[in-house]
Amino acid sequence: MRNIFIGLGVVVVGIVVAVYFVISSLDGIIQQAVEEYGSEITQAEVKLNEVNIDIGSGKGGLKGLKVGNPTGFETASAFNLGEISISIDTGSVTSDPVIIKEISVNAPEVTYELSSSGSNIDAIQKNVDAYMAKLGGSDTAKQDDGGEGPKLVIENLYVRGGKLNVSATLLKGKTLSAGLPDIHLKDIGKDDGGATPSEVAKEILTSLNASATKAASSIGVGKTLDSLKDTLSGATEGISKKAGDMTSGAKKTLKNLLGN
């Protein structure tokens, strides 16, 4: 009998240690998931400096979330999201979907880098769309395989006090900036019984993209890009015309030489 109690005691201690380990390492798990899935979905380096979640209250924060740029862009990052506060329904932590009451992103900075083919924000959006298309209808299967884990419902997501910086490189040294319109998204994933992390990322990025594009248009960045495209197009047409004139002249010269 004594051995049975000792055995049960060992099992209980083991369970307590296991639960403590999961809780104490939760911040690290979240950080790793954000960096891994964020980089995979956006095809840009995603880094997160700090995660601090109190499992008892379900409240916490993330600091230093940075989304880099896809290949072909020069600026250091596309998004610097600064401080993010989060409130989780603790009763849903072990269920599916996990209910997140609120996420608040305060004072994010978006760097909008222009090129003749579009912007870095557009490029990231396309990468997310391509990722979603690649998954197709396999999100459910991926969850069953332990891929993306439980689904999420986000009741309220706020983005406040944001700032847009336009890359000075393509604007010949001129720096432009504007405030980002505030964003409030409600009940993400609720109608579908939860959303996968990739689906959440797509919805949030789409809203950020729209907000950044609106801010860029307010300071004439769209016109700058159109002007750049027109300039490149005009230059190409001019080169083609000159090449055509030169070819025509060469033909005439060659014909005269052969005739003589």
Reference 48, options 24, 25, 29; nearest CA is: 29
Are 215 and 237 in a shared domain? no
Per-residue burial over 165-175, b if 16 or more Cβ lie within 10 Å, else e, is bbbeebeeeee
Whether residues 204 and 253 share a domain: the answer is no
Tell me: the pLDDT tens digits for 97-115? 889 999 999 998 988 888 7
* Residues 202 and 256 reside in one and the same domain: no
Q: Tens of pLDDT along 187-239?
A: 999 998 998 877 887 888 788 878 887 887 777 765 555 555 455 445 445 54
d(CA 141, CA 237): 51
> Tell me: the pLDDT tens digits for 105-156?
999 898 888 877 778 888 998 998 888 888 765 544 444 444 556 789 999 9
Here the tokens at position 33 are: 């998931």
Q: Are residues 134 and 187 part of one domain? A: yes
Same domain (yes/no): 27, 58: yes
For the chain, the DSSP string reads -HHHHHHHHHHHHHHHHHHHHHHHTHHHHHHHHHHHHHHHHHTS-EEEEEEEEETTTTEEEEEEEEE---TT--SS-SEE--EEEEEE-GGGTTSSSEEEEEEEEES-EEEE-EETTEEHHHHHHHHHHHHHHHHTT-HHHHHHTTSS-S-EEEEEEEEES-EEEE-SGGGTT--EEEEPPPEEEEEETTTTT-B-HHHHHHHHHHHHHHHHHHHHHHTTHHHHHHHHHHHHHHHHHHHHHHHHHHHHHHHHHHHHHHH-
pLDDT above 90 coverage of the chain, percent: 17
Q: What integer is the mean pLDDT of 175-185? A: 85
Instruction: Give tens-digit pLDDT for 11-60.
Output: 555 444 444 444 556 778 788 888 888 899 889 999 999 888 887 888 98
Overall number of domains in the chain? 2
pLDDT above 50: residue 259: no
- Please give the Cα distance from 110 to 219 (Å, whole number): 15
pLDDT of residue 158: 92
CA 231, distance to chain mean position in Å, is 31
Instruction: Output the pLDDT for position 102.
Output: 94
Provide the 10 A C-beta neighbour count for residue 182: 11
**In the numeric block, which tokens belong to residue 113?**
């880098």
Regarding whether 179 and 78 lie in a shared domain, the answer is yes
Say whether both 238 and 131 belong to one domain: no
Give yes or no for residue 169 having a pLDDT over 80. no
Residues in a beta bridge with 59 = 54, 87
Task: Compute the distance between CA of residue 66 and CA of residue 78 in angstroms, rounded to an integer.
Answer: 8
Output the pLDDT for position 226.
Answer: 56
Rounded-to-integer distance, Cα 44 and Cα 205, Å:
13
pLDDT number for residue 174: 61
Q: Which residue range forms the structural domain that includes residue 165?
A: 2-219
Helix (H), strand (E), coil (C) string for 124-191: HHHHHHHHHHHHCCCHHHHHHCCCCCCCEEEEEEEEECCEEEECCHHHCCCCEEEECCCEEEEEECCC
pLDDT in tens, 196-207: 877 887 888 788
Residues 137 and 254 in one domain: no
Using the predicted structure, report yes or no on whether residue 243 has a pLDDT greater than 80: no
Predicted pLDDT of residue 255: 46
Residue 48 sits in the same domain as residue 108: yes
151 and 232 together in one domain: no
Q: What is the pLDDT of residue 67?
A: 92
Both 28 and 142 in one domain: the answer is: yes
The structure's pTM equals 0.68
**Portion of the chain with pLDDT greater than 70, in percent:** 65
Q: What is the pLDDT of residue 175?
A: 60
141 and 259: one domain? no
- What confidence score (pLDDT) does residue 16 get? 44
